[in-house]
């Protein structure tokens, strides 16, 4: 195997492991958000929940997606600040 091929395989493995770690982190964070949301949000924002501006409950899938979106926005803001 050539050196270039080894670098390509190492990059693919590194990307795969990174994707698994990020997915695990988003799943754990999303699950925590899903568990805490019905307790915290109606207490903190009762008027917004009553008017329907903020959901009183989230589905598990929506909480994991929200965690992904927030993580991407935070990462993008950190990247833009360095430039």
Separation in Å, CA 67 to CA 7, 33, 46, 57, 70:
32, 8, 22, 15, 5
pLDDT at 42: 94
Grouping H, G, I as helix, E, B as strand and the rest as coil, residue 37 is helix
Kindly give the confidence (pLDDT) of every residue in the chain, 83 residues in length, as a single tens digit, with 9 standing for 90 and above: 688 888 889 888 988 888 888 888 889 999 999 999 999 999 999 999 999 999 999 999 999 999 988 888 887 887 766 65
pLDDT at 82: 61
Which pTM does this prediction carry?
A: 0.70
Domain ranges within the chain, ordered by starting residue: 3-82
Q: What's the CA gap between 14 and 70, in Å, rounded?
A: 23
pLDDT at 83: 53
Closest Cα partner for 58 from 20, 69, 23? 69
């Amino acid at each position: 195997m050539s050196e270039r091929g080894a670098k390509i395989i190492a990059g693919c493995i590194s990307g795969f492991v990174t994707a698994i770690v990020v997915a695990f982190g988003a799943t754990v964070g999303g699950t925590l958000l899903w568990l805490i949301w019905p307790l915290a949000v109606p207490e903190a924002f009762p008027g917004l929940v009553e008017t329907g501006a903020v959901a009183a409950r989230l589905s598990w899938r929506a909480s994991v997606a929200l965690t992904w979106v927030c993580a991407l926005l935070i990462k993008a803001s950190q990247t833009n600040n360095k430039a």
